Structure 1
Amino acid sequence: MGGALALTLAALAYPAMLGVQTVSSSPSRIVAETSAGPLTEADRDFVVKVRAAGLWEYPVGQMAIAKGTSPAVVTAGQHLVAGHAALDATVRRIAPQLGVVIPNLPSPQQQGFISTLNADSRGKQFDTDFANILRVTHGSIFNTVAKIRSTTKNTLVRALADQANTTVLDHITVMEKTGLVNFDQVLFQETTPPKLPASDVTPPVPAPGSPTVVLTPPPDPSPSPTAG
């Protein structure tokens, strides 16, 4: 992996959905009592961040389908699109039941991922950047999804965590199948993420009354595990 990509990962490597850092001051604090059980700050953060993940990984998956130069990269893009369309449908369904406001834009840090990959020309550089950035973000979040699954008392959040766990593992697998993942660099980035300010990793709150962005499922969503 080239020096440019190493710098990109150093600047941008932060988990795609929840992350090692947290903007919550008290993750276990109950913020609402719902018909599905108590909702904690960590639960609410999880729902928001799953939504934000789709808002950047879905368009990046579309990029990979259009710009990927190997069948494995194109397949990985198809898995991102299908997986996050399915997750997004679940989030949009449960958010009103939980009283959670979901974003319509990814965080500034996640928008940086999109910009980095959008700037790559079609070719090996895009393929390599795509596989490694997505492997870092998914590898970083994997254990955190499991933690939410094991600790939440909310049945809707628990079901979302089940779906997210399956999807994240699938996306890790398809990135590795590209043969482009630099494991030494990726594992370093996973274990030493930069300390970014909360403003960089928090998706903006949508304007009141704004329509909800919908991630449209592909005609054939079979490439990626779906649930919901």
Structure 2
Amino acid sequence: MLGVNTVASDGTRVIAQTQWGPLTEGDRDFVVKVRAAGLWEYPVGQMALRKGQSPAVLTAGRHLIDGHAALDTSCRKIAPMLNIAIPNLPSPQQQGFINTLNADSGKQFDTDFANILRVTHGSIFNTIAKIRSTTKNTLVRKLANQANATVLDHITVMENTGLVNFDQVLFQETTPPKLPASDLTPPPAPGGQPEVVLTPPPNATSSPLDLGGGPSPAPTVG
């Protein structure tokens, strides 16, 4: 499997030829990033429903759960088709976001929730645009389309809380902390471990990709 812990040195390098088009390092890392994002943002959405103080934060929490459940289903469909190993846990940095919000309460939770999620979604938004405009792989392109719509929605609901400090957010987006790759990379799932599934809410409005049928034969790794 194309492992999750390989840091791409050249995002344009083709690592597999598939029936859906060539798969690059950047394509592979994008699928992993989308999966990892859901592994921390989905539980944070659940946290918002328990701890949120304002109706707008509760709405944002529901959007996180709904959107990432659908994206996660798409990732889990695409990954075996492209022979990509996906993680079962978020990265250490993402776990740190969970820990911060878990320790918060009251208005501080709402404020940190809105700003942390606005920074992370704003950062991945640029990555999605690059993948969407450059990938030659049709499955990755479909995932980028879905991720683009979902992330834009999540940016919007965070801004609708009225709690986003745009000066702070834009500074953090353009001047990210220099962290070691180990902090930014989700750990690979141990062999034989059941795959974590992000369950859609009963009233889900977001839909995963319809790819027609199950996984096809794995690609040839180059």
Task: Calculate the TM-score normalised by the size of structure 1.
Answer: 0.88
Distance in 2 of aligned mates of 1:137 and 1:149: 18
2:218 matched to which residue of 1?
Answer: none
What's the CA shift for 1:227? 4.1
State the SS of the aligned residue for 2:78. helix
Q: Any conservation in 2 of the 1:132–1:181 contact (CA below 8 Å)?
A: yes
State the SS of the aligned residue for 1:51. helix
1:209 equivalent to 2:192? Answer yes
Residue identity opposite 1:146 in structure 2: A
1:164 equivalent to 2:152? Answer no
1:219 matched to which residue of 2?
Answer: 202
Unmatched segments (≥5 aa) in structure 2: 1-5, 210-222
State the SS of the aligned residue for 1:103. coil
What's the CA shift for 1:26? 1.2
Q: Any conservation in 2 of the 1:50–1:87 contact (CA below 8 Å)?
A: yes
What's the CA shift for 1:226? 3.7
1:196 matched to which residue of 2?
Answer: 179
Distance in 1 of aligned mates of 2:149 and 2:208: 9
1:95 equivalent to 2:79? Answer yes
1:178 equivalent to 2:161? Answer yes
1:41 equivalent to 2:25? Answer yes
Distance in 1 of aligned mates of 2:16 and 2:123: 28
Q: 1:77 aligns with which of 61, 70, 75?
A: 61
Q: Give percent identity, aligned residues only.
A: 78
1:19 matched to which residue of 2?
Answer: none
Residue identity opposite 2:53 in structure 1: T
Distance in 2 of aligned mates of 1:128 and 1:194: 20
Distance in 2 of aligned mates of 1:226 and 1:65: 21
1:109 equivalent to 2:55? Answer no
What's the CA shift for 1:23? 3.0
Distance in 2 of aligned mates of 1:27 and 1:45: 8
1:7 matched to which residue of 2?
Answer: none
Distance in 1 of aligned mates of 2:7 and 2:82: 19
Q: Any conservation in 1 of the 2:73–2:208 contact (CA below 8 Å)?
A: no
Distance in 1 of aligned mates of 2:136 and 2:53: 44
Runs of 4+ more than 3 Å apart? none
Distance in 2 of aligned mates of 1:23 and 1:206: 16
State the SS of the aligned residue for 2:15. strand
State the SS of the aligned residue for 1:32. strand
Distance in 1 of aligned mates of 2:78 and 2:120: 24
List aligned pairs for 1:145-156, cutoff 5 A. 145-156=128-139
1:23 matched to which residue of 2?
Answer: 7
Task: Calculate the TM-score normalised by the size of structure 2.
Answer: 0.90
Distance in 2 of aligned mates of 1:47 and 1:203: 12
Distance in 1 of aligned mates of 2:36 and 2:201: 19
CA RMSD of aligned residues (A): 1.1
Which deviations, in whole Å up to 9, do the C-alpha atoms of 1:119-167 show, x marking residues without a partner?
112x100000000000011111111101000000000000000000000
State the SS of the aligned residue for 1:39. strand
Q: Any conservation in 2 of the 1:75–1:174 contact (CA below 8 Å)?
A: yes
Which deviations, in whole Å up to 9, do the C-alpha atoms of 1:21-60 show, x marking residues without a partner?
x931111111111111110000000001100000000000
**Matched residue pairs, number?**
204
Residue identity opposite 1:114 in structure 2: I
Distance in 2 of aligned mates of 1:220 and 1:65: 15
Residue identity opposite 2:91 in structure 1: S
